[in-house]
């Protein structure tokens, strides 16, 4: 399946990136480019919707961490939502579900962390 990244402004601010297909060594540069472009445009709040992502390897995980580090350096955030199946399992096993505040649809992943 072809990997695609589409994005749109969120009503509450920031940008939602929708990932579809397989995120791996061959496609992670496309995600990195999209993140870099959005940061260059001044975006600091990135929500990655993984509902249509069918596979994610270690380079995909690295792209998530890289994006988070870049926006966090400017006081922003990168959060994940919508993962299912193997992708959700990878997020749990790697600990990224916790680190990147992965949220299922029951919680707005853009909401501030509870104190």
Q: Name all domains of the chain by residue range, CATH numbers in brackets.
A: 4-99 (3.30.750.24)
Quickly state the pLDDT bin for 102 (edges 50, 70, 90). Answer: low
pLDDT at 99: 86
The tokens for 76 are 């922003």
79-90 core/surface letters (b: 16 or more CB in 10 A; e: else)? bbbbbeeebbeb
Percent of the chain at pLDDT exceeding 90: 77
Q: Give the chain's largest Cα–Cα span.
A: 41
pLDDT at 53: 97
Q: Say which residues have a Cβ less than 8 Å from residue 105's Cβ, sequence separation at least 6.
A: 81, 82
pTM for the full model? 0.85
Cα-Cα-Cα-Cα torsion 28, 9, 111, 44, nearest 10 degrees, comes to 60
pLDDT of 34 > 80? The answer is yes
- Report how far residue 20's alpha carbon sits from residue 16's, in angstroms, rounded to the nearest whole number: 13
Q: Summarize the confidence of residues 15-25 as an average pLDDT.
A: 97
Side-chain-facing half-sphere of 66: CA atoms under 13 Å: 15
């Amino acid at each position: 399946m072809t990997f695609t990244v589409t994005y749109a402004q969120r009503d509450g601010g920031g940008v939602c990136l929708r990932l579809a297909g397989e995120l791996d060594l061959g496609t992670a540069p496309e995600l990195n480019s999209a993140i870099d472009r959005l940061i260059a445009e001044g975006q600091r709040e990135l929500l990655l919707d993984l509902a249509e992502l069918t596979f994610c390897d270690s380079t995909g995980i690295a792209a998530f961490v890289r994006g988070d580090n870049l926006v966090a350096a400017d006081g922003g955030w990168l959060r994940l939502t919508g993962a299912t199946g193997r992708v959700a399992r990878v997020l749990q096993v790697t600990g990224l579900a916790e680190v990147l505040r992965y949220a299922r649809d029951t919680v707005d992943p853009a909401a501030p962390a509870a104190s």
